[in-house]
């Protein structure tokens, strides 16, 4: 039995944001400390299958995990299999009838429940497949458990590449997303942290997260995304800034096709520097959708591996607890490259460009001569002119001027914290393996025939 919980403030940060200069010059002078990084992975998530020709391939998570291990990054991580989230966890945000339907529907029952399928937006984009509810429990559990470890000062950075399903709404699926793990993780962080900033670098607008916190100043949502040309989900105008108490706490950065490293990272740093100084969050949630990379199957941006990772590195420099998740990304080999590389960036462990040989997935990387490389395409035009980007900076700056001082949050008795899961790293040895020296760390993959080609 846990002792009666007393209200407490967030963990003492190693670098107080009030000390940060209002110019970016200070960032390079921050004290350096060794972060404790935890990493969540459940091999079952990577074996889920949305169906033939569906662009979402959970198989990319197996590929990412194998690449992390092939590079030896696991030796520097606190590696855990997450607790599976429960229906009660989902009900902290999602509607009860929606959760109940997800928990009971199976592929063979779909014809009996056509009206409910339509009501909850289940179908072609968000299909019903075998093991759907367990899939949701697994990826959501990783994000919630990451937040719990941050709340309890057990880790400084938590990674859950299987999370980041940012389109799911309170009572409906959307954009390949069923349960919004990000909203649930943020709600967990809010039990301890007075202010949380959510940052989204997926090519699609983080509409589900923005909608959940649109009328509160406890969470600031910041989304960098493609906007216009009827691009999904069609939301995220720069004019959408929140409402009621949340007015000015939704920040949207709408972009055009072909944005490159220089334009994106300069804009990202400009916006996020202002957000961090004005809002002063005590926790960060960073959604690292890989569909903003060049040559993504669905995306239309032109970011390189290094450009995408620079955003992660910049947010890490603030020395604020961070939950890092995956998101979109539909060219599997590039998704694995991206997230393995960003795991290394988080650990401050530069990786050799030559991908190490490893079983099962090595041949997937022949598309770039087995190199850890994603290059911007030289023939793609950047439709984001300097004038357009300057106009975004001006409008975002004007809106953030209304958040000049961090909002005061009266810290009364907080909701009960989730219990810290009893993690058992030995679980990895039951169905995971890697060579002879790192037994218990790699999953035995299912047949490639289940995963289609990119």
Catalytic residues: 167
Question: How many CB atoms are located within 10 Å of the residue 336 CB?
Answer: 28
CB 223 within 8 A of CB 210: yes
Which has the closest alpha carbon to 178: 102, 82, 104? 102
Alpha carbon 138 to chain centroid distance?
A: 15
Q: Where are the alpha helices (DSSP H) in 232-286?
A: 261-279
What would the DSSP string read from start to end of 297-326?
A: SS----B-HHHHHHHHHHHHTT---EEEE-
Please give the Cα distance from 67 to 417 (Å, whole number): 34
Residue 262 burial (10 A CB sphere; 0-12, 13-18, 19+)? exposed
Sequence-distant (≥ 6) Cβ neighbours of residue 122 within 8 angstroms: 105, 128, 173
Q: Is 291 annotated as a binding residue?
A: yes
Please give the Cα distance from 347 to 35 (Å, whole number): 8
Q: Is 175 annotated as a binding residue?
A: yes
Q: Is 204 annotated as a binding residue?
A: yes
Q: Is 66 annotated as a binding residue?
A: no
CB 37 within 8 A of CB 76: yes
Three-class secondary structure of residue 264 per DSSP: helix
What contacts 24+ positions apart, CB below 8 Å, involve 98-107?
Answer: 98/170, 98/171, 98/172, 102/132, 102/133, 102/136, 102/178, 102/179, 103/133, 105/132, 106/130
Question: How many CB atoms are located within 10 Å of the residue 38 CB?
Answer: 22
The residue assigned the tokens 């091999």 is 43
The residue assigned the tokens 């916190």 is 213
Please give the Cα distance from 143 to 160 (Å, whole number): 6
Q: Is 125 annotated as a binding residue?
A: yes
What backbone torsions phi and psi does residue 47 show, to the nearest 5 degrees? -100, 0
Sequence-distant (≥ 6) Cβ neighbours of residue 79 within 8 angstroms: 38, 39, 41, 425, 428, 441
* HEC per residue, 121-185: CCCCCCCCCCCHHHHHHHHHHHHHHHHHHHHCCCCCEEEECCCCCCCCECCECECCECCCHHHHH
Three-class secondary structure of residue 216 per DSSP: coil
Q: Annotated binding residues for substrate, as ranges?
A: 125, 175, 330
Q: Annotated binding residues, as ranges?
A: 125, 175, 202, 204, 291, 330
């Amino acid at each position: 039995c846990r002792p009666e919980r007393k209200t407490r403030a967030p963990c003492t940060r190693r670098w107080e944001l009030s000390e940060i200069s209002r110019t970016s010059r200070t960032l390079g002078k921050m004290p350096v400390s060794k972060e404790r990084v935890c990493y969540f992975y459940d091999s079952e998530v990577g074996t889920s299958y949305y169906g033939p020709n569906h662009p979402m391939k959970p198989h990319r998570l197996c590929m990412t995990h194998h690449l992390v291990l092939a590079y030896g990054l696991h030796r520097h991580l606190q590696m855990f299999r997450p607790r599976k989230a429960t229906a009660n966890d989902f009900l902290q945000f999602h509607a009860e009838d929606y959760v109940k339907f997800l928990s009971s529907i199976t592929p063979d029952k779909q014809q009996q429940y056509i009206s409910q399928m339509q009501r909850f937006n289940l179908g072609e984009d968000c299909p019903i497949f075998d093991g759907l509810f367990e899939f949701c429990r697994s990826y959501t559990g990783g994000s919630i458990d990451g937040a719990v470890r941050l709340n309890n000062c057990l880790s400084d950075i938590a990674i859950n590449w299987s999370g980041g399903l940012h389109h799911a709404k309170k009572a409906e699926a959307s954009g390949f997303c069923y349960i919004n793990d990000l909203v649930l993780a943020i709600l967990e962080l809010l039990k301890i942290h007075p202010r949380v900033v959510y940052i989204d670098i997926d090519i699609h607008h983080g509409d589900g997260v923005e909608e959940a916190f649109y009328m509160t100043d406890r969470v600031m949502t910041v989304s960098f995304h493609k906007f216009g040309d009827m691009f999904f989900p069609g939301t995220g105008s720069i004019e959408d800034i929140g409402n009621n108490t949340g007015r000015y706490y939704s920040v949207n950065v709408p972009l055009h096709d072909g944005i490159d490293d220089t334009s994106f990272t300069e804009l990202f740093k400009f916006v996020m520097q202002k957000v961090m100084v004005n809002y002063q969050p005590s926790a960060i949630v960073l959604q690292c959708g890989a569909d903003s990379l060049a040559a993504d199957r669905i995306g239309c941006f032109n970011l390189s591996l290094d450009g995408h990772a620079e955003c992660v590195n910049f947010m890490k420099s603030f020395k604020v607890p961070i939950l890092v998740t995956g998101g979109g990304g539909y060219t599997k080999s590039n998704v694995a490259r991206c997230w393995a590389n960003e795991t290394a960036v988080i650990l401050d462990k530069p990786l050799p460009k030559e991908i190490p040989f490893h079983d099962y997935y090595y041949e997937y990387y022949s598309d770039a001569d087995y190199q850890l490389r994603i290059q911007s395409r030289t023939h793609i035009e950047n439709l984001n002119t300097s004038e357009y980007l300057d106009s975004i900076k001006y409008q975002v700056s004007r809106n953030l001027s209304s958040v000049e001082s961090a909002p005061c949050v009266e810290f009364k008795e907080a909701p009960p914290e989730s219990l810290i899961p009893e993690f058992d790293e030995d679980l990895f040895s039951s169905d995971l393996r890697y060579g002879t020296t790192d037994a218990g760390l790699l999953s035995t993959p299912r047949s490639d025939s289940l995963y289609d080609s990119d």
